[in-house]
Chains A and B, each alone.
Chain A
């Protein structure tokens, strides 16, 4: 049963499933705070289907991953190793980090890029119970006026935004739902 769980749950049609999943990621990153559906992955718990789909779509042997305590189970490690071949690393070296917001603390441990290469920064996949209840007002690129959205906190993202163009970018995942918060977004509490 365990081995089957590791080997299964990937995209059934990798080229087309990952194309659709990417479009969800793209729309999410382009329109901060708006919820997108992302499907196709069935990863082992506690990894959500949305987080699993993001990893299948974006992670591979060239992208080191940090797995926070909340998600560091043997099944998750094996599933990521089998489907993404991504090396598991310490937080500071990670291109992607996966875990609950609390487990990812302190966020200061993640790469935020350099002045010449701000893209050399981490993307956090923050697993949430629910991302449908707004508690913040967002504005900035991708948002026509303002957008209300769920965020696990406010202050950390205000601090992240101040560092622009440096900073980390976040996906928030719950079930098969996904929203994003790039470093460029201005965050206020609702």
Chain B
């Protein structure tokens, strides 16, 4: 069978309508997880099927798509998903955040502020923020209905009692518009402040768990915390060794068998752009030469 045998953006129209209806409900009820009849996709569950279905339901032929995994455009799964849409939707692709109209991401929010007209699609493994406290779907659904989030606060507080700090560093739960507690997907908590008041539309797809949820632009999103232990979106206390940025989220790399380390931006598009503008870091070629 050839690619032409598949519909524009792979999914059949009935499936897209079903996903589109779920997306609109998600926007109308920010942070609420809308059940949807996720389809089997030609990539495995857990590898972005939710994000891929949301992207497929949103793409028009006029879009420019960017796909990132861990902030990078060239990680294998990002490459694979980008290729899938190049084949099935013939859309333009770009690695430049500002040029993209639809960005599918796994685990990061780009460093550059997003703008109106952009859509950020998150791949979500476990959409239920309460799942690790209560494994039963029927029970967590009831807890959301009754706004019964005490268990979550107890868990965070136990962290503080035991470790002196909240021991959640990614997939850090947030409260949306003072109503629903939401899982922001496994982004580092460093990225949490970018969830709220974002000019772009943020859509979340969990394929295996059959849930879609959304944040409209400029939505009020608060990371859960306590007065005496305010939320702290920390990152490694270093600058990027390639572009010198002191404000970006960093990957740590082990560079030799003696345990030498270097730190580089996880957002490759951001880092490359800064290097092109002439910014340098500790290990830039010029820096080494100097």
Cβ-defined contact, A184 with B20, below 8 A: no
| Contact B24–A29 (Cβ < 8 Å) | yes
A58 engages B145 (CB within 8 Å): no
A97 at the interface (CB under 8 A from B): no
Q: B146 contacts the other chain (Cβ, under 8 Å)?
A: yes
Contact indicator B59/A19 (Cβ below 8 Å):
yes
Chain A 25-66 per-residue mask, 1 if CB under 8 angstroms from chain B, else 0: 111011100000000000000000000000001111011000
**B216 CB contact (under 8 Å) in A30, A62, A116:** A30
Which among A30, A60, A117 is the interface contact of B27 at CB below 8 angstroms?
A30
Contacts of B58 in A (CB 8 A): 19, 22-23, 26
Q: How many residues of A are counted as interface, with CB atoms below 8 angstroms from the partner's CB atoms?
A: 40
Q: Does B129 contact A (CB under 8 A)?
A: no
A141/B14 in contact, CB under 8 A: no
A27 to B117, CA, bound (A): 8
Residue B150 CB within 8 A of the other chain: no
- Rounded to whole Å, the gap between the CB of B210 and the closest CB of chain A is 13
Contacts A29-B27, A118-B29 given; indicate if A15 touches B9 (C-beta within 8 A). yes
B141 close to chain A: CB less than 8 A: yes
Given A15-B7, A116-B145, are A169 and B17 neighbors across the interface (CB < 8 Å)? no
B96-138 interface bits toward A, Cβ cutoff 8 Å, 1 = contact, 0 = none: 0000000000000000000010010000000000000000000
Binds A, one of B42-50, B152-160, B217-225, B252-260: B217-225
B91 to nearest A CB, angstroms?
10
A77 within 8 A of B: no
Say yes or no: is A142 at the interface (Cβ < 8 Å to chain B).
Answer: yes
Interface size class of chain B, counting residues whose CB lies under 8 Å from the partner chain? 35 or more
Mark out the residues of chain B between 23 and 45 whose CB falls within 8 Å of any chain A CB in the assembled complex: 23-25, 27-30, 32, 34-35
Asked whether B20 lies within 8 Å of A22 as measured between CB atoms, the reply is yes
* Main SS at interface, chain B: mixed
Q: Are A58 and B17 in contact (CB under 8 A)?
A: yes
Contacts of B218 in A (CB 8 A): 141-144
Q: Judging by beta carbons under 8 Å apart, are B217 and A31 in contact?
A: yes
Known pairs A18-B16, A164-B179; A141 contacts B60 (CB<8 A):
no
- Chain A residue contacts of B180, Cβ below 8 A: 165
Q: Which residue of A lies closest to B11 (CB)?
A: A15
B24 touches A25 (CB 8 A): yes
- Within 8 Å CB of A117, what residues of B? 35
Q: Which residues from chain B contact A63 at a C-beta distance below 8 Å?
A: 21
Q: Bound complex: CA of A167 vs CA of B24, how far in Å? A: 14
Q: Does B18 contact A (CB under 8 A)?
A: yes
In the assembled complex, B8 has its CB within 8 A of some CB on chain A: yes
* A to B CB contacts below 8 Å, 30 in the list: A19-B8, A19-B9, A19-B59, A23-B60, A26-B23, A26-B58, A26-B119, A26-B201, A30-B201, A30-B217, A31-B116, A31-B216, A57-B17, A57-B20, A58-B17, A60-B14, A62-B14, A62-B18, A63-B21, A118-B29, A119-B29, A121-B25, A141-B27, A141-B215, A142-B216, A142-B217, A144-B199, A169-B24, A182-B29, A184-B28
